[in-house]
Structure 1
Amino acid sequence: MNAVEIEEAISRLAEQPFDAEEFPFAFLEAFGNKATTIKRLRSGASNKSDLGGVLQINNIHIKVCEEGQVSDTIRALRESPATKNARNRVKFIMATDGITLEAEDLSSDIAPIVCPFEDFPDHFGFFLPLAGISTVKQIRESAFDIKATGRLNRLYVELLKDNPEWGTAERRHDMNHFMARLIFCFFAEDTDIFVKADQFTATIEQMSAPDSTNTHEVISTLFRAMNTKLEERDAANIPRWASDFPYVNGGLFSESVDVPRFSKIARSYLLHIGNLDWKKINPDIFGSMIQAVADDEERGALGMHYTSVPNILKVLNPLFLDDLREKLEEAGDNARKLLNLRNRIAKIRVFDPACGSGNFLVIAYKEMRAIEAEINKRRGEPDRRTDIPLTNFRGIELRDFSAEVARLALIIAEYQCDVLYRGQREALRDFLPLDAMNWITCGNALRIDWLSICPPTGKGVKMHGDDLFSKPLDQAEIDFENEGGETYICGNPPYYGGKLQSDEQKEDLESTFRSTSVNWKSLDYVAGWFFKSAQFVSRLDAQAALVSTNSICQGQQVPVLWPTLYSQGVCIRFAHTSFRWANLATHNAVVTVVIVGLSPAGKASKKRLYSISEDGSTISREVPNINPYLVAAPDVIVEANSKPGNNLPPMVFGNMPRDAGYLLLSPNERDELLAEDQRSEKYIFSFRGSDDFIHDKQRYCLWISDEDRDHARKINGIRERLEMVANARKQMKAASTQKFADRPHRFVQIQGVAKRKSIIIPRHTSERRTYLPVGLLDSKSIVADSALAIYDAPLWCMSIIASRLHRVWIASVCGKIKTDFRYSNTIGWNAFPIPSLTQKSKDDLTSSAQEILLAREAHFPASIGELYNPDEIPADLVAAHDHNDEVLERAYIGRRFRNDTERLEKLFALYSHVSDPAAPRRSDNFVEEGGQG
Structure 2
Amino acid sequence: MNPVEIEEAVSTLASEPFDPVEFPFQFLAAFGNKATTINRLRKGNTNQSDLGGVLQRSNIHIATSDPGDVANTLTALRESPKTASNKAKFILATDGEEFQAEDLTSGETVACDYADFPNHFGFFLPLAGITTVEQIRESSFDIRATGRLNKLYVTLLQENPDWATAERRADMNHFMARLIFCFFAEDTGVFHASHPFTRTVERMSAGGDGNTHEVIRELFRAMNTRIRDDDGKLTNRFRDEAGIPNWANNLPYVNGHLFGGEIEVPSFSKIARSYLIHIGNLDWTKINPDIFGSMIQAVADDEERGALGMHYTSVPNILKVLNPLFLDDLRATLEEAGDNGRKLLNLRARMARIRVFDPACGSGNFLVIAYKQMREIEAEINARREEADRKSDIPLTNFRGIELRDFPAEIARLALIIAEYQCDVRFRGQKEALAEFLPLDSDNWITCGNALRLDWLSICPPTGTSVKMKGDDLFGTPLDQSEIDFENVGGETYICGNPPYLGSTWQSATQKSELQDIFGHRTSNWKSLDYVAGWFMKAADYGTETRAASAFVATNSICQGQQVPILWPVIAQTEHEIIFAHTSFKWANLASYNAGVTVVIVGIGPRTTRGRKIFSTDEYGQVVVQEVDNINPYLAPGPTVIIQKSARPLNGLAEMTFGSKPVDGGNLLLTRDEVAALKLSRDEKLKFVRPIYGSDELISGKAKFCLWIEDADREYAKKHVTIGQRLEGVRRMRLESTKAATQRGAGWPHRFDERRQLGTERVIAVGAISSENREYLPSALLPSGTIISNKCYAVFDAPLWNQAILLSRLHWVWIGAVCVRLEMRFSYSNTLGWNTFPLPKLTEQNKADLTRCAENILLAREAHFPATIADLYDPEAMPKDLRRAHEENDEVLERIYIGRRFRNDTERLEKLFELYTKMTAKGKAA
Normalising by structure 2, we get a TM-score of: 0.95
Equivalent residue of 1:539, what SS?
Answer: coil
Aligned mates of 2:879, 2:600 — CA distance in 1: 33
Q: Give, in whole Å, the separation in 2 of the partners of 1:794 and 1:647.
A: 12
Structure 1 position 687, deviation (Å): 1.4
The amino acid across from 1:102 in the alignment is Q
Show the counterpart of 1:854: 859
1:243-258 equivalence runs, <5 A:
243-258=249-264
| Residue in structure 2 matched with residue 316 of structure 1 by the alignment | 322
Matched, 1:647 2:647: no
> Alignment partner of 1:180: what SS?
helix
Of 532, 543, 551 in structure 2, the residue corresponding to residue 537 of structure 1 is 543
Q: Which residue of 280, 297, 300 corresponds with 1:291?
A: 297
Secondary structure of the 1:133 match is: coil
1:366 aligns with 2:366: no
Task: Give the corresponding residue for 1:141.
Answer: 138
Q: Alpha carbons of 1:68 and 1:717: their partners in 2 closer, same or farther (altered >3 Å)?
A: same
CA contact (8 A) 1:755 1:792 kept: no
In structure 2, give the amino acid aligned to 1:681: L
Does the alignment pair 1:190 with 2:187?
yes
Greater displacement, 165-174 / 832-841: 832-841
Is 698-707 or 99-108 further displaced after alignment?
Answer: 698-707
Q: CA deviation at 1:547?
A: 0.6
Residue pair 1:95, 1:101 contacting (<8 A) in 2 also: yes
Identify the range of structure 1 (515-524 vs 155-164) with the bigger mean alpha-carbon deviation: 515-524
- How far is the alpha carbon of 1:445 from its aligned partner? 0.7
In structure 2, the residue matched to 1:841 is 846
Partner residue of 1:437 out of 443, 455, 458: 443
Match of 2:889 among 875, 884, 888: 884
Corresponding residue number in structure 2 for 1:868: 873
**Rounded Cα–Cα distance in structure 1 between residues aligned with 2:909 and 2:896:** 15
Partner of 1:635: 640
What is the letter of the counterpart of residue 223 of structure 1?
Answer: F
SS in 2 for 1:576: strand
- Of stretches 803-812 and 821-830 in structure 1, the one that deviates more from structure 2 is 803-812
In the TM superposition, residue 719 of structure 1 has moved relative to its aligned partner by 4.2
Alpha carbons 1:771, 1:803 under 8 Å: kept: yes
Q: 672-681 or 300-309, which moves further after superposition? A: 672-681
Measure, in 2, the Cα distance between the counterparts of 1:141 and 1:871: 35
Contact 2:459 2:467 in 1 (8 A): no
User: Residues 28-49 of structure 1: CA distance to partner in whole angstroms, max 9, x if unpaired?
Assistant: 1111111111111111222222
CA distance in structure 1 between the aligned counterparts of 2:188 and 2:748, rounded to whole angstroms = 81
Alpha-carbon distance, 1:433 to partner: 1.0
Residue matched to 1:100 = 98
Alignment-derived partner of residue 81 in structure 2? 81
Tell me whether 1:746 sits opposite 2:745 in the alignment.
Answer: no
Query: 1:94-243 residue pairs with structure 2 within 5 A?
Result: 94-109=92-107, 111-211=108-208, 213-230=210-227, 231=235, 232-243=238-249
Separation (CA, whole Å) in 2 of partners of 1:439 and 1:761: 53
1:478 Cα deviation from its structure 2 partner:
12
- The one-character-per-residue Cα deviations of 1:225-267 (angstroms, maximum 9, x if unpaired) are 1111113112111111111211112111101111111110111
1:399 aligns with 2:405: yes
Match of 1:270 among 260, 266, 276: 276
* Residue 67 (structure 1) aligned with residue 67 (structure 2): yes
SS at match of 1:139: helix
Aligned-partner SS, 1:394: strand
CA contact (8 A) 1:227 1:248 kept: yes
Mapped contact 2:364–2:416 kept (Cα < 8 A): yes
**Displacement, 1:497?**
1.2
Offset at residue 717 of structure 1 (A): 4.3
> Contact conserved, 2:460 with 2:467, CA < 8 A, in 1?
no
Aligned pair 1:351/2:348, yes or no?
no
Counterpart AA for 2:610: S
What does residue 479 of structure 2 align with? none
Contact 2:766–2:792 under 8 Å retained in 1: yes
Deviation of 1:890 (Å): 1.9
Deviation at 1:713, TM superposition (A): 5.1
Residues 671-699 of structure 1, C-alpha deviation per residue, up to 9 Å, x if partnerless? Answer: 34464463442232111111122221222
Q: CA deviation at 1:892?
A: 1.6
Going from structure 1 to structure 2, the CA distance change for 1:718 and 1:249 (only over 3 Å counts) comes to: closer
Q: Which stretch of structure 1 is more off in the superposition, 121-130 or 897-906?
A: 897-906
Is the 2:760–2:786 contact (alpha carbons within 8 Å) kept by the matching residues of 1? no
**2:695/2:767 contact within 8 Å kept:** yes
Measure how far apart 1:903 and its partner are.
1.6
SS in 2 for 1:170: helix
1:822 aligned onto 2:820: no
- Coordinate RMSD, CA, aligned: 2.2
Q: Shift of the alpha carbon at 1:466?
A: 9.6
* Alignment CA distance shift 1:597-1:879 (3 Å): same
Q: 1:919 to 1:78 in 2, by over 3 A?
A: farther
% identical aligned pairs: 63
Q: CA deviation at 1:917?
A: 4.4
Contact 2:152–2:276 (Cα < 8 Å) also in 1: yes
Q: Secondary structure at the match of 1:572?
A: strand
Distance, in Å, in 2 between the alignment partners of 1:612 and 1:637 is: 25
Q: Contact 2:443 / 2:484 at 8 angstroms: preserved in 1?
A: no
Worse overlay, 584-593 or 350-359: 584-593
Report the AA paired with residue 202 of structure 2: E
Retained in 2: the 8 A contact 1:573–1:604?
Answer: no
In the alignment, what sits opposite 1:32? 32
Give 3-state SS (helix, strand or coil) of 1:438's partner: coil
| More deviation, 549-558/707-716 | 707-716
**2:708 equivalent to 1:703:** yes
Which amino acid in 1 is paired with 2:372?
Answer: K
CA offsets 1:817-840 (integer angstroms, 9 cap, x no match):
233211111001111111122323
In structure 2, how many angstroms separate the alpha carbons of the residues matched to 1:105 and 1:752? 59
Q: TM-score normalized by structure 1?
A: 0.94
Cα distance change of structure 1 residues 139 and 722 upon mapping to structure 2, 3 Å threshold: closer
Amino acid at match of 1:339: L
Q: Is the 8 A contact 2:397 2:443 kept in 1?
A: yes
What is the CA-CA distance between 1:604 and the residue it aligns to?
5.0
Which shows bigger deviation, 311-320 or 700-709?
Answer: 700-709
Please show how residues 225-624 of structure 1 align to structure 2 within 5 Å: 225-230=222-227, 231=235, 232-458=238-464, 464=470, 481-601=487-607, 603=608, 605-624=610-629
Task: List runs of 5+ in structure 2 lacking aligned partners.
Answer: 228-234, 474-482
Find the aligned partners of 2:573 and 2:818 in 1 and give their Cα distance: 21
Encode CA deviations 1:368-421: one digit per residue, 9 max, x unaligned. Answer: 111111111111111110111100000001111111110001001100110111
Q: Distance in 2 between matches of 1:245 and 1:687?
A: 77
Say which is worse superposed, 182-191 or 831-840, in terms of deviation.
Answer: 831-840
Q: Secondary structure at the match of 1:315?
A: helix
The one-letter code sitting in structure 1 at the alignment partner of 2:878 is: I
What is the Cα deviation at residue 588 of structure 1? 4.0
